[in-house]
Amino acid sequence: MAKRHVIIGAGPAGINAMTTIRELESEESEITLVTREQAYARMVLPYFIAGEIPEGQVQTGDEAYFARLKVKTLFGRSVASVRSDRNEVVLDDGIVLPYDDLLIATGSSATSLPIQGVNLDGVTQLWTLEDARSLLAAGGGRKRKEVAFIGAGFIGFIILNAAWKAGWKVHVVEIADQVLPRMLDRPSASLVEAWLARQGVGVHTAAKVAAIVPGRGKGKKKVQLQDGSAIPADAVVLATGIRPNLKLVEGTGVRTGQGILVDDRMQTSVPNVYAAGDVAEGPDLLTGGRAVHAIQPTAVEHGKVAGANMAGRDVRYWGSLLINILDVCRLQCASFGAWGRHDDVSLVANESRPVYRKLVWSGDVLTGAIFLGPAQDIAMLNDLGMVKGLIQTRSALGPWKRYLQDNPLDIRRPYVASQAASKLLKMTITGQASSERGYRHQGLQPVAKPNPHHAAYVGTQPQ
């Protein structure tokens, strides 16, 4: 009898588990995918909101794709309960699905605020595709509108950036005394706030929302602050945080903390039940403990590890690294690992460009970093990838630490000298090279448009 896998959730963790099972299994199994929504990428929603892609391109799989993988899909369905003692899940219509192993990849949900007005039309948490449609509908599609964001964290800024690119007038309200309090330290956040002001974004920090009330005119609203001031808006986005979806495992024997507790195989306290993604509290690379890292790279890695073990392999996860990379109105921001420490750091800051680079050390090992600056200073130099590699491999830099302290803009030489790239090659999740997932919207392939400098670089041959 074929092994029966049930996967709850079609986000990056669930989809990567599904494809990894098919890639690594020795005998073909049955896979059933249960999800309340269609399979789509939440991180792509900002591009849809900004009008850069059509709605269809947010999808991560269509009917033909799942049929090719021989995956039974139950879209628009949810699991009412898990009977771990019977190896069964019960769907919302009472249908029972038996399983040999189960993956819970139910993700997280946006939190709300206990204030008046959160249920008004045009007030959204912007966590789902339906939320994105609701935001676009408020104030009449993509035409110029005024949007207030409550919460200046990573999630809120992803959508804020899309709204700004769409030409909307944007305000952001944050209860903390700085924007991006879980991603940037105070000095780098100050640079972001000044940049936002220059881009015409209204920034209100150390501010608390009292209520959201109807304004003057059809669909208009006002965000009332506790200091008595008010912000006009056509739409309001609540971006005050997320929490793992744990309700499904209540009473199942599956142990939880902040998330579902998993070991380095993504296995829960119930041997044939796995968890992955935002809902899982798994190994942390730097601390050696457990943490919920609700970010896309961790969800992908979790899914691959869980899928490999469900396929019968013995794959161990070294742990996730906290990573946040963000475009703030064309200002690139990134933070890695233990970026909040201040005891042993290398720092470069320039307010006029602006540029901010902070490297955090433990001895001669990089453990954290913050990068901020224009794209040509950050993303185009591959510095983000090299710093991530140095932190992830925990490479001892020896005398190269002093070199980086003296030359903080030159990451390449220490990276090459440390042989971090060779170490990263050995850190494949499943022990083999990743393969193409095999899905493109309407078969479209990415089009590379190298500039003349790139052509000259790759065309140069040694004599």
Average pLDDT, 10 consecutive residues per value, the chain (463 residues): 96 97 96 96 94 94 95 97 97 97 97 95 93 85 86 95 94 98 97 97 98 92 97 96 96 96 98 97 96 97 98 96 94 95 92 94 97 81 90 96 92 94 88 80 77 61 47
- Residue 63's Cβ-count burial label (10 Å; 0-12, 13-18, 19+) is exposed
Taking the C-alpha atoms of residue 232 and residue 219, their distance in angstroms, rounded to an integer, is 11
Please tell me whether residues 144 and 290 are part of one structural domain.
no
pLDDT at 139: 65
Q: In what order do the strands lie in the sheet with 260-261?
A: 260-261, 280-283, 290-291
CATH number for 270: 3.50.50.60
Q: Which helix (H) or strand (E) holds 358?
A: strand 355-362
Which structural domain range is residue 253 located in? 4-109+243-310
**Within a domain: 52:** yes
pLDDT at 330: 93
User: Exposure string (b/e) for 278-293, b if CB count within 10 Å is 16 or more?
Assistant: bbbbbbbbbeeebbbb
Please tell me whether residues 247 and 229 are part of one structural domain.
no
Could you read off the pLDDT of 3-24 as tens digits, one per residue?
999 999 999 999 999 999 999 9
Please tell me whether residues 130 and 226 are part of one structural domain.
yes
- How many structural domains does the chain have? 3
Q: Given 221, 240, 259, which residue is the final one in a domain?
A: 240
Which tokens belong to 219? 């669909």
Long-range contacts formed by 215-222: CB under 8 A, 24+ apart: 219/121, 219/122, 219/138, 219/139, 221/117, 221/120, 221/122, 221/123, 221/148
Could you read off the pLDDT of 46-58 as tens digits, one per residue?
999 999 999 999 9
Predicted structure pTM score: 0.93
Question: Which residues, 6+ apart, have CB-to-CB distance to 432 below 8 Å?
Answer: none
Please tell me whether residues 231 and 259 are part of one structural domain.
no
DSSP per residue over 388-417, as a string?
Answer: HHHHHHT-B-TTHHHHHHH-TT--HHHHHH
Please tell me whether residues 400 and 337 are part of one structural domain.
yes
**Exposure on the CB side of residue 28, measured as CA atoms within 13 A:** 3
Please tell me whether residues 225 and 153 are part of one structural domain.
yes
pLDDT at 463: 45
User: Exposure string (b/e) for 342-361, b if CB count within 10 Å is 16 or more?
Assistant: eeebbeeeeeeebbbbbbbb
**Within a domain: 350:** yes
Please tell me whether residues 190 and 254 are part of one structural domain.
no
Q: Given 217, 240, 263, which residue is the final one in a domain?
A: 240
Please tell me whether residues 103 and 249 are part of one structural domain.
yes
**Within a domain: 443:** no
Closest CA to 100 of 162, 30, 154, 8: 30
